[in-house]
Every structure is written in C-alpha cells, then in structure tokens.
Structure 1
Amino acid sequence: MGIIERKLREKENRRKDILDAAGKLFSGKKGMDATMDDLAELTELGKGTLYLYFPNKESILLALAGKGVGLLRKRLNRSLDDAKTGIEQISDSGDIFVEFLRDKPFYSQLLLKYEQTVITDEETGERSLLVEPVLEILKDILKKGRSDGTLRDDIDTYELVTILWSQLLGILNTLSVRKDILHIYNIDEDWIVKGHYRVILRGLMPA
C-alpha cells in the first residue's frame, strides 16, 4: 500500500471513529444538546482536528442521518423475497420499519429531521434525497406488486412511493415525537401501528 492510499485509509478510519463517538454522544444523556466541545473531550481530539473532518455539529448530525439510512436500507433488504408477492413484501417492510423505530430511536429521529434533505455526490455531482436508498427499495417492491397484480396499477409508482413513505413517516412521527396524543386518548402503540397498516395495505390493493 502506497503512502497516499495509507493516509486516505487513516483519514477515513479517523472520520468513522469520530462519527461513532458522535453517535454515542448525541444519543446519550445530553442528547442533541451536546456540543462540539463535548465531542472533542470524548474523542480526546482538539476542536481544530474535528473541524478538519466535520465543519460543524449540523454536518455530523447529517452524516449520522445518512448512517441511519444505510442501517434501515440494510434491514429493508430482508423484505425483498422473490417467493413473496408485492403486497406481502410491503407488509414485511412495514414490520421491519416499525422494528427499526423501536431498536434505533436515535436514528429514527434523525430520519424524521433530515428526510427531505438533498445531498450532492462528491464524485458525480448528482443530487438526490438523503433517503433515496430506502425509497429505491420501496420502488422495487411496488413494481413487483404492480406486475403480479397484488398492488394497484392505476397510480404512478413514484406517487405510490410518496404515499407509502408519507404513511411510514406518520408512524415515525407519532411514535417518536407525538406520543402524548396516544397517552391522552389511551391508545396502545401496537394498535396505532396496526391501524396504519390497515390504511396502507387497503389503499395499495387493487379495487
């Protein structure tokens, strides 16, 4: 390995270590109120060194949101099963999404905060939504369901993706930042999730 390659790998490893530490810090006791000073203390790095990798706290949170998208995408890949119909895969992906909300509440909050963020690929210059990797999986599932007849074909695939993603975000919003309304009306979390499922699946099935 040459000197340039070794330095690039060391830089990437340092960046990953900082991001891992930031994930622990911002999901910990201080939460989003933690500062770059806190991160410098945790990583035992000077703030100047941190700024070489991340210009500010917002850039770190955005990078963590991107990591969360990757984690969710990896889980959603489990729903892609050629032996199952499109509607079955949609149901499985919904279960996986709710499982993710409960297992990874910190990353779920970041998804809700940054899901409309547009990012630019440093190499190609192409612009896309931060959550595009997740939406691509949903598109594949919807195309499968349209072709096997288990999902309606009278609505454009991209429109269906938007509808489905909006519903999933509704679940995320309710379970993460609007829990008080569940307590006020004495509604069980599992019940509200199943209610979303009924709405989603019935709306996606052919008439």
Structure 2
Amino acid sequence: MGISERKEREKERKKALILEAAEELILEKGLDHLNMDEVADRAEVSKGSLYLYFKNKSDLVLGICHKASGMLSKEIANVLTKDIPGIEMVYTMGAAYLNFVRSHPEYFRSMRFFDSLKDTDQLSESDYIELCQSNKDASFTSMVRAIQIGMQDGSIQDTYDAKELAMLLWSTSHGLVNMAFMHQNMPHFRLFEKNKIEMKSLFAAYMKLIGCGIATGEEEINNDLKSIFETE
C-alpha cells in the first residue's frame, strides 16, 4: 500500500469516527443541540482537524444525511433483486422506509434537515448537497422501476404514468413515515394515542389502500401486510 493510499484510508477512518460521534450526540441531545466542540471531544480529534473534514455544523449534519440516504437507497434498491411481483415490491419498499426510520431516528433527523434547507449559503458551501440528492434520486428511480415491473407482470394497472404514480406514493408515504418519527421521538405528539391508532394497523391500511387503487383485478390483495412491518 502506497503512502497516498494510506493517507486516504486514514482520512476516511477519521471522517467515519467524526460522523459516529455526531450521531451519538444527536441521539443523546437532539440535532438542535449538536455542538462542534463536543463532536471533536467525542471523536477524540482536535477542533482544527474536525474543520478539515466538515466546514461547519450544517456540513456535518449533511455528511450524516449522505450516509443515511445512501443506506436507505441501498435497502430500497435491494428490493428490486427479489423474485416477487411489482406490487409486492412497492409494499416492501414502503416497509423498508418505515423500518429504517424507526430503527435509525438520528439518520432521519439529518434527512429532515436536508429537506428543510433554505439558506443559499448552506446549499453552496457543502459538498454533500449533491450527494444527498443523488441518493434520494436513486431511491425514487427504484420505486419507478418497481412500478414498471408491476405493470409488466400484470400486478399493477398500466393506465398510470409510472413516474407520476411513484411521486404520489413517495410523497404520501413520506408523510406517514414522518408521523411515525414524530410519534416515536416527540413526546408532545399524541395524535395516535388520542385516537387509539396503532402504527402497524395504520401502515397496513395505507398499503392495502394503495393496493386497491393500483393493483389489477387479477392480483388478489390478501397479503398479511402487518408481517412486513417490523415496528415493535
């Protein structure tokens, strides 16, 4: 291994340590209380070294978003390798999204931060903006492909435009996933408790509703959808 290769490996190792430290602090104190000095202490690097890898707090959070969105994109893309009908791929992608957010709330916080960015300086300063967007685009492309597969195998109606349908499913599922995150991580959010709604039942009903709208008449919607949501 050459000197340049060892330096690059060490650089990636330090970057990973910094991201892990930031993730731990977000879990402990919340994203709003993330402090660069504390990140440097937790990662056991100097503050100067920290700023060599991440320009500011926003850049650091976007680094986490890049990692998170990449992990989610890979999970969703893996669904396309399964030997299942397209309609079932759509269900499984929705379940993967929900389970990812419930298992990794700190990652979802960083993804919410990315979605809420409005400051043009933040957008121009970080190298992670395009990387995060690329991961999101890849996930959307996987959803489009699952719908196209369903149209080809006869499990999804072919009267829809695949991209328009993917956008509808993506936006509505994002809303439900966001509510799941709030239910799990925000003590003041009591909408489900007040209305005696269970998360598993809500998402199972949502997926069945989708099936009724896009599945073909030949495709029976009799899957035990609750079983694919590992939400407990």
Give TM-score, length-normalised by structure 2.
Answer: 0.77
Cα deviation code 1:87-138 (max 9, x no counterpart) = 011122222222222211222233333247789xx7xx89944412221221
Residues 1:188 and 2:198 aligned together: yes
Contact 2:86–2:149 (8 Å) recurs in 1: yes
Gap regions ≥5 residues in structure 1: none
Match of 1:44 in 2: 44
Match of 2:156 in 1: 151
For 1:137 and 1:146, the matched residues in 2 are separated by: 14
Distance 1:85 1:157, change over 3 A: same
- SS state of the match for residue 131, structure 1? helix
For 1:199 and 1:70, the matched residues in 2 are separated by: 29
- SS state of the match for residue 93, structure 2? helix
For 2:132 and 2:15, the matched residues in 1 are separated by: 23
Gap regions ≥5 residues in structure 2: 118-122, 184-188, 218-232
For 2:159 and 2:116, the matched residues in 1 are separated by: 26
Q: How does 1:49-198 map to 2 (within 5 A)?
A: 49-81=49-81, 83-115=83-115, 128-177=133-182, 179-198=189-208
Name the Cα RMSD after superposition: 2.8
Contact 2:22–2:34 (8 Å) recurs in 1: no
Contact 1:37–1:47 (8 Å) recurs in 2: yes
Contact 1:87–1:151 (8 Å) recurs in 2: yes
Amino acid at match of 1:5: E
Give TM-score, length-normalised by structure 1.
Answer: 0.85
Large movers: runs of 4+ above 4 Å: 115-119, 125-130
Contact 1:151–1:204 (8 Å) recurs in 2: yes
Offset of 1:206 from its aligned partner?
A: 4.1
